[in-house]
Amino acid sequence: MEIPYKTLLDIRKDASLPVYVQIANEIIKNIQSGILKKGTKLLSSRQMAELLALHRKTVVAAYDELYSQGWIEVLPKKGTFIAQHLPNVKPILLSQKDFQEEGKDNFSMDFPKNSHVRIPIVITQRLAFNDGLPDVRLAPRDELARLYAHYIKFGEPSVLNYSSVYGTWRLRETFSKVLNETRGMNTTPEKIITTRGSQMAIYLVGLALFEKGDEVIVGALNYPATNMTFATLGAKINTIPIDEDGIVVDAIEDICLQKPIKAIYVTSHHYHPTTVTLTPERRIKLLALAEKYRFYIIEDDYDYDFHYANRPVLPLASADRHGLVVYIGSFTKKIAPTFRVGYVVANQEIIEELAKLRRIIDRQGDTILELSLADMLENGTLKRHAAKVLKIYKERRDFTCDLLKKELGNVIDFKIPDGGMAIWTKFDKSISLIDLAKKVAKNGLYISDGSAYPDENACRIGFASMNFKETEDAVKILRNAI
């Protein structure tokens, strides 16, 4: 039977993969599927090249690759054959339709599907009222690139090798000093582990602290990814109310009297999603309840540096006397989302456990990036950058709030946030956020459809990532759609 090589071998000359590798891969795929059986004679390199309209050297290279991997054998004066030592594979019967279009594979294997996690949307629109992201155009890329290149070119060879699962010592040492000086904490490098962003930190902390069925507390409105993480880990989630002062701490004790609580998750500085700051009175009571009922406080301080009304409020971790606060943060908001460096600060026993878990998930972080960040902390680059963008983001907050009130004040309601990079915005009940999000997307604007908070008809409107002109364009699209 004549083999339809031209149909079987899907070769794309414009692909990044070399053509000779494509040929080899396609032949291997057809051997594995049983279409090309052991002992089958292949076309000569000249014939195959003519058939596929390729240079003969390309086909020779493909055959050499197949031979080196043991898929084919060359018999002198006879030709090139599929190797005899391969096992027989029952061929799949193919119809003409199978050659014309990709057939549906009905073969499947059962495995448990995660029902808690939703894959995040990748924003492709030119304009975006996102969840509250920095303007990556302002990132100190020149300095970071200079340092990164320096360590690659001139750094000790050890920086390219495996490093500590806890993270680079220099970054942990330098950052512990920053935490102690600026956030009133009393920590050491041994009480810090780096992660690839705060989401990984939340996952590792939950994995370390929770057993299946453990009771945890979150706010009735909460960072959705945290709820997904805790549910995936088998924790039972209890919710408490939130108001204009953050989580209602009085509601915690009611739950503690009924069941043992393992932990509570809080974003005490700028509550997610509503952006409010937990009041001093509630902070004191929350710490007292943690001591009384012996539960952990997982404090996610995701945008500590961006507070506009006054100096940032010290974290709960600064007043922790018994190692009950597990403090989480990242450098993402300060620089850009693509630079995945987060951290956990906790008592050393917890850090040791996190290191064990990190070992089997991610072995280590990006050593060169961590060294670069350590330099930027030491030479003041990150401090100067934070001061510069804080001024810019405050101006953008004020501009966006004024514009929203002027153009949409009759259909939306919000409070000007004291910090963070987003405005918690409630829409008139007559407006469907799901429909609105679809409508504005067609005109190049992203806005959340509010599905994460279905009872609120509200979403976070990020203001930091767009300049004044872009914000004007975005609000105009939003106003016209409404």
Look at residues 207, 205, 171 and name the one whose alpha carbon lies nearest to residue 189: 171
Mean pLDDT of all residues in the chain? 90
Q: What is the pLDDT of residue 327?
A: 96
Distance of alpha carbon 259 from alpha carbon 335, whole angstroms: 41
Distance of alpha carbon 281 from alpha carbon 240, whole angstroms: 17
Distance of alpha carbon 445 from alpha carbon 427, whole angstroms: 17
Average pLDDT over residues 445-459: 92
Q: What is the pLDDT of residue 256?
A: 96
Is-contact 171 373, C-beta < 8 A?
A: yes
Residue 126 per-residue DSSP state: S
Look at residues 382, 361, 364, 362 and name the one whose alpha carbon lies nearest to residue 373: 382
Whether the upstream peptide bond of residue 273 has omega within 30° of 0, thus cis, is: yes
Look at residues 384, 395, 412 and name the one whose alpha carbon lies nearest to residue 464: 395
pLDDT digits (tens, 9 = 90+) for 10-42: 898 888 889 999 999 999 988 887 888 889 999
Average pLDDT over residues 75-80: 92
Asked if pLDDT for residue 89 goes beyond 70, the answer is no
Asked if pLDDT for residue 449 goes beyond 90, the answer is yes
pTM: 0.81
Look at residues 338, 340, 342, 260 and name the one whose alpha carbon lies nearest to residue 301: 342
Average pLDDT over residues 49-70: 92
Q: What is the pLDDT of residue 261?
A: 97
Residue 213 amino acid letter: G
Provide the pLDDT confidence category of residue 309 given band limits of 50, 70 and 90. confident
Beta-carbon count within 10 A of 284 CB: 13
pLDDT digits (tens, 9 = 90+) for 94-120: 555 555 555 555 667 888 888 888 888
Residue 446 amino acid letter: Y
Q: What is the pLDDT of residue 91?
A: 61
The structural domains of the chain, ordered by start, are: 5-100 (1.10.10.10), 127-133+384-481 (3.90.1150.10), 142-379 (3.40.640.10)
Q: What is the pLDDT of residue 101?
A: 54
